[in-house]
Structure formats: structure tokens, C-alpha cells
Amino acid sequence: MRALLDASFSADFGEVHALVGENGAGKSTMIKILSGLLRPDAGTLRVRGSQVDFRSPHVARALGVGTVFQELTLMPSLTVAENLFLRNEPQGRARLIRRRELAPRAREVFARLGINGIDPDELPPALSLAHRQVIEIARALLRDPEILFLDEPTSALAEQEVEWLFRLVRDLREQGKCVIFTSHRWGEVADLADRITIFRNGEHVATRRQLTEGEAVTLMTGRTIDRMYPERPPLAHDAPVVLEVRDLRGEQMKGISFALRRGEILGVGGLAGQGQRDLFMTLFGARKLAGGELRINGQAQRIRKPSDAIRLRMGIALVPEDRKTEGLMLPMSVRDNLTLAVLGRVAFGGVLKRSTEQAYVRRAVQRLHIRTTRPSVQEMATLSGGNQQKVLIGRWLLAESDILLFYDITRGVDVGTKHDIYELMMELVAEGKSLLFYSSETEEVARLCHRVLVMREGRVAAELTGPSTDAEAIVAASVREDAA
């Protein structure tokens, strides 16, 4: 289960270098190694020609490396100022930290970098995802790194904020620093990068100065873009509405309404952190609904917890974003994970029936081509990321739910598995199921969905159908200042 197989690349000082590749290609793992967070099993690292060993993040920092990780690392109980200066605080006599100076200095730093509207005494959980991303960037810059890694720095940033970041990055280049970043948005990559390195399945594939998007996709996926995505089954004109929501309100939802029809793949797009997660979790009953109406097949329903959603006649299923923390029980077996939502059906009077369970497991393994030798015993943790994701999807296939909520399910999954998942999605809607689909890769949303709802600030800002559902249009609708 290796994330990187033979990955090499080099970047120069005074350069902006982009790392591109699909989810699961190894970019994040590479960055973690280069920041001292992970140790490589083999290989060498050289900075300015001399070999280095990043034994720990501490060592990497000392050698001039700064990183903004994809998973934000702000401490929830420390203020913005405390977070900003963590391990880098202004010190006074006897090396004691000058706490009183933290907030004023934070303001200075924000002013210098052109950031406004962030209160240094606030706690991170009260801030928007975009603000948190900005603070993380500011924190990395404070240390004046020689080499700066940015892993998906713009996933939550709107147009103006992205411009701000670009300006900073260009300044760093002028100063002779090296900036290495990853992004899913081709526009940004083309705009900012001097050189582009492409990873695929843990291996370095190419490094170029110039690249068209089509060439990039082919290199990233090993297929041409047309072959990557299967054909969408057409949506019947008279397909009934299976799920209808009106004016949904929640922690981050400010009034969402839409209808999902049978056999439809409805996409949800927009910048990260605009309420998409809230929507999915609330539809599944994992979060409280503050207001609004929900109808399944025309009948009003109250879904207060996940078992309510699962047990409906139509059945709703949620495949969440982070399979490790929200989906799978890694130390348990493949079998245990697969049948978790249908325990009632594989037991009689509460007692498990091995033969029935085996049959269910076999069904899921065969349908999804899950690579497992002994599902009753094999631990989930030993499966590859792609296979793990398949098991999670398999759990809900066995539950035979008719409405499937797929939230960023291709994260950390290899190309081959992705393709399998796309094909599965098409099969499912052809069978009459309905899908609500969110992905951090806009291309996927554009290519797979019949219709796309672009969310912004807890509302549906735009609805795109037909020929206008391409990635560019989605991105444009996501970052446009004025909501539609």
C-alpha cells in the first residue's frame, strides 16, 4: 500500500513549480515527506546540492522549509494570534513569550500582507474556511522560508483572495525563493507555474514548462479525457421527483431548495466550505435541521438521525468525505465493514448467520471488484485506498438505498478505481437510483452530472444544465462576487 513508488523531481530557487495529479496520485504524500512529517522508505533528498535528512518537521523548518498543508492545522483553543505565532513567538527576557504583543503584532502582519477583517483574538472555529486558509498561509510566510510548499491553498478562496495569494507567490519568486504548490484548478496552474510536474499513481510522469489542459489530463490519467468519463445515461423527461427540499436551513445552510429526480446525477459545486457538507450531513440526519421541508416521493419526512434516513422505504445513503474518520472501522474485517448497515438482514433474532453474511459479502465484492483475499478476516487497514473506498460504497449498495449522497468519494483514490466508481455511478442511475454528487475536483462534477447546483455562502447561487455544465462555468459561478 505504497503512496509513492518512484517519485523524483527537482525544483529551482526563483521558481514557482506546480505539482499536479489526481486525488491519490501522491502529491500530498510527497509534500509530507518534504516537510519532514513522513519518512521515505527509500530515496534521497537534496537541498542546494547537498543531501539532507528531514528527520522531523523541526529539522525541515530549520533548513528553511515552510508548508501549508491541505488539512488545516489551526489549534481550535488558541486564538488566531497565538496560532499565527506558534513556535515563532516574540520573546522577551529569559526567553519568555510576550503574550501582550501577540495581538498587535498579528495585526501588523495582517496589514503588511494585505489581509483585513480577521480579529486576532478570535478562535478558529468561529472563522470561515477561507479565513482559516489565509491565516495558515500567513503563518507559513512569517518564517520567511526558502522553500514554500502550498498543498491546495486555494480550495476555499474566492477570486480576490486567490489574486492576493498569487501576488504573494510572485513576490516570493522575485526574492529568489522556491514555491511548490498543488491545485486542481488548471487555470491557476497555467497562470502561475513556471514548470509543471505531473504525478500519476505514485510515480513521476513528466515535467514540462508548457502544457495544455488536454495534455495534462492525458498524462495525469493515462487516458484521454473522453475515455476517462463514461457516458451518462439520459435522464427521462417524465422522471418523477424522488427528493425535494425547500428552504433548508442549518448551521451553514441559509435556505436551500432543489429537486432530485429518479435516475438523475445532481452535482453540487462551489468553493470548499460553502455549506455543502452541512447539506449532505443534514439530508442524512447526521445534523439537526433548523428549518425547511424535506419530501421523499412527495411525502413530507422528518429525518432526525441516520437510521431514519436509512430505514425509509426509499432509503438514503451517505458516503462521506473522510473514510478513515467517518466511514470505516480500520481494524475490523472487510466483511464487518461491508455488512454494518444491514446487520438486521444477515441475522435471525439478533444472531448472525454466517452463510447469509458470506453471500452478501460475496455480492458486494464481485459487483465492485474489491481486491480482498479473505474478507472475513482481512483487516480494512491493509487494503489500498481505492479498495477501501469501494468497501465503503459497497456497504451502501448492500443496503439497497435508492437515494445516494456521494461526498467527495474520489479523494485519495487511484485512477483505475476512479474509473470503476464512475462506471458504477452510471450503472446505479440506469437502475433507477438517484445521486447527489459533490467533488473537490470540478472536472468530475462537470463531466458526471446531469445538472449542477453551485453553492455559495449557504445558498444555491447558480444552477447549470446541459451544455453549460463545464468546469470553467462552475468555477466562474463559484467565485463570482455577486450571487446569481
Partner 1 sequence: MTAGAETITPEPRWRKLLASLTPDRRRVLYAFGAAALVFAVGELLHPGFGSTASIKAILVIASFVGFVAAGQTLVILVGGIDLSVPWVLNGAAILLVTSSLGRDGRAAQAVLLTLALGLLTGLVNGLGIAYLAVPAVVMTLGMNGIMEGLTLGVSKGLTCGSCASYAPKAVQDVVRSNVLGVPADLFLWLAVAVAMTFLLSATTFGRRIYAIGNNNTAAFLAGINVRLMTVVLYMLSGLFAALGGIVLVAYGGQATLGMGDPYLFQSIAAAVIGGVSILGGRGHYLGTLAGSITLVALVSVLLAENMPDWGRSVVYGGAILVILLAYGRERQQL
Partner 2 sequence: MTSVTQVPPYRSRTRFQHFTIQSAPLLLALIILAGMTGLYVGLFYRQLSRFPGNFELTSVVNTSMPLVFAAVGQSIVVLTRGLDLSVGGMIDLTNSLAATHMHAGAGSMLVWSLLVLLVGAAGGAINGVLVAYGRLQPILVTLATLSIYQGLAIKTLPAPGGSVPLEYTKILANPNDPTGLGFVALIVVIWLVFRRTRLGVDIFAIGNDEEAARAHGVRVRATKIGAYVLSGTFAAAGGLFLAATTTSGDATSGDVFVLTSIAAVVLGGISFFGGRGSAIGTVAGAFILTLLINVLFFASIDPLYQSFFQGLFLVVAILLGTLIRRLVGMRG
Task: Give how far Cα 147 sits from Cα of 8, 61, 113, Å.
Answer: 17, 10, 18
Q: 362 contacts which partner out of partner 2, partner 1, none, CB within 5 to 8 A by kind?
A: partner 1
Site for partner 1 in 401-430 (CB under 8 A): 416, 420
DSSP 343: G
Q: 128 or 356: whose CB is closer to partner 1? A: 356
**Which distant-in-sequence residues (6+ apart) come within 8 Å of 23 by Cβ?**
410, 411, 412, 413, 418, 440, 441
Q: Which is nearer to partner 2, 96 or 351 (CB)?
A: 96
CA angle at 166 for the pair 408 and 7, rounded to the nearest 5°: 55
Cα distances (Å, whole numbers) of residue 224 to 73, 143, 158, 201, 215: 37, 42, 30, 16, 8
Cα separation, 281 vs 276, in Å, equals 9
Please identify, using beta-carbon distances, which residue of 82 and 443 lies nearer to partner 2: 82
Give the shortest CB-260-to-partner 1 separation in angstroms: 20
Judged by the rule CB under 8 A, the positions of this chain that interact with partner 2 are 35, 37, 56-58, 61, 67, 69, 73-79, 82, 86-87, 89, 95-99, 103, 113-117, 119, 121-123, 125-126, 128, 130-131, 134, 158, 160-161, 163-164, 167, 457
Residue 97 in the binding site for partner 1 (CB under 8 A): no
Q: Which of 86, 168, 314, 330 binds partner 1 (CB under 8 A)?
A: 330
Is there a contact between 293 and 311 (Cβ–Cβ < 8 Å)?
Answer: no
Q: What are phi and psi of 162, to 5 degrees?
A: -65, -40
Taking the complex as a whole, how short is the minimal distance between the CB of residue 142 and partner 1, in angstroms?
27
Nearest approach, Cβ of 297 to partner 2 (angstroms)?
A: 37
Of 272, 268, 211, nearest in space to 243 by CA: 268
Instruction: Using CB under 8 A, pick the residue from 123, 286, 314, 476 that binds partner 1.
Output: 286
Could you give the CA distance from residue 248 to residue 208 in angstroms, rounded to a whole number? 47
The 10 Å Cβ neighbour count of residue 392 is 20
Closest by CA to 220, choosing from 422, 462, 415, 15, is 415
Closest distance between partner 2 and the C-beta of residue 160, in Å? 5
Q: Identify what 147 binds: partner 2, partner 1, none; CB under 5 to 8 Å per kind.
A: none
Q: Which stretch binds partner 1 (CB under 8 A): 115-123, 144-152, 264-272, 320-328?
A: 320-328
As a whole number of angstroms, the distance between CA 148 and CA 136 comes to: 12
* 200 interacts with, out of partner 1, partner 2, none, CB within 5 to 8 A per kind: none
Residues in contact with partner 1 by the rule CB under 8 A? 284, 286, 305-307, 309-311, 318, 320, 324-332, 336, 340-341, 343-344, 347, 350-352, 361-362, 365-366, 369-375, 377, 379, 381, 395, 416, 420
